[in-house]
Amino acid sequence: MLCISLPALAADLNPTTGKTTFSLYAAGSIDQHPVYQLLLESAGQSEYQIVWKDADGTILYDEYVSGKEIIRNYMLDLGDLGNADIIIEVYKRNGRKVESFRISTKKDLNVKSR
């Protein structure tokens, strides 16, 4: 499974409400590979670790990001995964998990917040 982080331009996001928000969207595809956009919005500068895992817990990709309004795009090559789900976990710098998403790799490619 190949997970590629693609650059994203800063976007006009909703004004922060004082709470940290996390969103994952199916953003389209490139050469028949799905692209997902992860948005992290916090009231102040924060550092996060983003971890992509398969259903067995094997880490497929991870990265550290920091900022107040973070936008990351990921293109996935699902060829080797079959029908296994992908889990995306977001951790704060202190190691505490703050959000988790599950992507079904079946044809419909659903995104679910856990």
Query: Which runs of E-coded beta strand occur in 55-105?
Result: 59-77, 86-92, 97-103
Query: What's the pTM value of the predicted model, to 2 decimals?
Result: 0.73
pLDDT at 2: 42
Q: What pLDDT score was predicted for residue 94?
A: 84
Residue-range domains of the chain with CATH:
2-7+19-108 (2.60.40.150)
Cα(19)–Cα(3) distance, integer angstroms: 29
pLDDT score, position 114 = 56
Q: What's the pLDDT at 10?
A: 39
Residues in Cβ contact with 66 at an 8 Å cutoff, skipping those fewer than 6 apart: 45, 46, 47, 48
Among 34, 42, 43, smallest CA distance to 88 is for 34
pLDDT at residue 59, as a whole number: 92
Q: Which residues does the chain have with pLDDT short of 50?
A: 1-14, 16, 109
